[in-house]
Amino acid sequence: MIAVLPSGQQVAASNRAFLRRAVRYIITQGITQFLDLGSGIPTVGNVHEVAQNADPGCRVVYVDYDEVAVAHSHVILEDNPNATVITADLRRPQAVLTSPAVQTMLDFSRPIGLLIVAVFHFVPDDLRPRDIVADYRAALPPGSLLALSHLTADHAPQAMAAVTDAMKHSRDPMYFRPHAEVVALFDGLELVEPGVVSAPLWRPESGIRDIAPDDVYAGVGRKT
């Protein structure tokens, strides 16, 4: 991706910055447990570090289907009793939600922070991404928050078309979506201000947006 999109590293950094801000916001709302879908390798500055720095009692379950990512995650988290990782495909909500680790680590009688960050652009339309999100939403207790970000081609269609072409024969082809389709993923939730916006504009620290390009939409929604 970076080979065909010169701003790729900035896009990735901006997305990670949104993740950190969203986790901190979720904690300010009294939520101390997180389910992170498609987490990759939880390296420096990931959810458990940000959350447990704010509240050491925060619990985190990472979910990924890549065996290498899961293996590395187990090593990183082996001394952390409040964080774990499971091997599962986020596109199968019931398999994720009924996992023994999820059921043990998370209390579904209390609000949960659900993180779907920079991963749904790997889910094609024929797998009905809105229905997948709806299944997770249905399982969340009232007061839960969903943080979601998604790559888009709205602002740089030619550059992002090159990314799509470069990734189409990989294990994980990419499917960029316009603003309206990203907003639709929040159906049934109450959007937190400022709504679904370019990632740098979602509650920027110090009130000033970073210089990253606008290739990621991001938002947080509350289940009422």
State the average pLDDT over residues 51-63: 96
Torsion 67-62-119-189 (CA) sign: positive
Tokens of 89: 């495909």
Q: How confident is the model at residue 44 (pLDDT cuts 50, 70, 90)?
A: low
Tell me, yes or no, whether 1 lies in a domain: no
Q: What is the pLDDT of residue 207?
A: 65
State the average pLDDT over residues 46-56: 94
Q: What is the pLDDT of residue 210?
A: 65
Half-sphere exposure of 17 (CA within 13 A, CB side): 21
Rounded CA separation 26/28 (Å): 5
Tell me, yes or no, whether 182 lies in a domain: yes
Tell me, yes or no, whether 13 lies in a domain: yes
CA distances from 66 to 37, 62, 88 (A): 12, 12, 8
Tell me the longest C-alpha to C-alpha distance in the chain: 46
Q: What is the CATH number of the domain that holds 134?
A: 3.40.50.150
Whether the per-residue pLDDT at 17 is higher than 70: the answer is yes
Q: What is the pLDDT of residue 182?
A: 97
Of 199, 59, 207, the C-alpha closest to 121 is: 199
pLDDT tens per residue, range 72-131: 899 989 999 999 999 999 999 999 999 999 999 999 999 999 999 999 999 999 999 999
Task: Tell me how many helices (H) and strands (E) the chain has.
Answer: 8, 8
Tell me, yes or no, whether 188 lies in a domain: yes
Q: Strands 83-87, 145-151: parallel, antiparallel or unpaired by DSSP?
A: unpaired
Rounded CA separation 178/182 (Å): 6
State the average pLDDT over residues 10-18: 87
Rounded CA separation 222/142 (Å): 8
Q: What is the pLDDT of residue 11?
A: 82
Domain that holds residue 71: 8-222
Which ranges of the chain does DSSP label H, i.e. alpha helix? 8-28, 47-54, 67-77, 93-97, 100-105, 129-139, 157-167, 179-184
Q: What is the pLDDT of residue 205?
A: 85
Task: Provide the domain count of the chain.
Answer: 1
State the average pLDDT over residues 136-156: 95
**Lowest mean pLDDT: which of 2-16, 27-41, 186-200?**
2-16
Whether the per-residue pLDDT at 211 is higher than 90: the answer is no
